[in-house]
Amino acid sequence: MEEIRQLEERDNQKESIQLRKYQEILMITGAGVLLFSVWSFIRFFIAYAFYPEDLMDYYQIDASDIEGKRYLLIVTCTALVIDLLFHWYIGRRAIAEGRGRKSGVLYLFMAAFLCLSSVLNIEAVLSDADIFYAGGADRITTAIIEMTSLAIFLEMIHAAIRLKISRKALRRQMACAEADGQQST
């Protein structure tokens, strides 16, 4: 009887260790998503402050077109704020779930969407034929940052799924142990 009890305690210990591991991963990746969102915001304003002509050339806006500049700034800032809120929500939900609170699955779908976006961004940056010539270092850096972001999102999704599975298994074990305890009394 004592051996069975020790085996059960060891199994519960293994499950709780896995649970803590995935909780830690979720908290770390959630913080990573928050930092990447702030970095994206800062990076845009640095680029706009030092290289506004690159952005205007990309969207084919004349340097003397004040309305075009204003429209570009408003649309871009709105997109950046939405992106920031998107990342902020995902990061906060991951951290909350890592701390043991229920967070649902919406943030996981949003993270999967951003994974797809990262893959498309990486493909777009690396498919450019001029990558190793004009502005190549900037594009390679962008691709590396996107790959890092993709890795964080993939790790977050994996940890969240494994955490949900581990919690469900632990609850099932506890319910079975409780039912066995009631039957023996």
Task: State the average pLDDT over residues 30-48.
Answer: 85
Q: Following DSSP, what letter does each residue of 3-57 receive, concatenated?
A: HHHHHHHHHHHHHHHHHHHHHHHHHHHHHHHHHHHHHHHHHHHHHHHH-HHHHHH
Q: Which of 81, 107, 85 is nearest to 96 (CA)?
A: 107
Judged against a pLDDT cut of 90, whether residue 52 lies above it is answered with no
How confident is the model over 71-127, as pLDDT tens digits?
877 888 898 899 899 999 999 999 999 998 888 899 999 999 999 998 998 888 778
Judged against a pLDDT cut of 80, whether residue 168 lies above it is answered with yes
* Pairwise pLDDT comparison (157 vs 183), residue with the higher score: 157
To the question of pTM greater than 0.85 for the whole model, the response is no
Amino acid 4: pLDDT: 42
**Cβ count near 94 (within 10 Å):** 30
The ranges assigned to domains in the chain are 27-180
Judged against a pLDDT cut of 50, whether residue 7 lies above it is answered with no
**Cβ atoms of residues 173 and 12 within 8 Å:** yes
The rounded distance, in Å, linking the Cα atoms of 9 and 4 is: 9
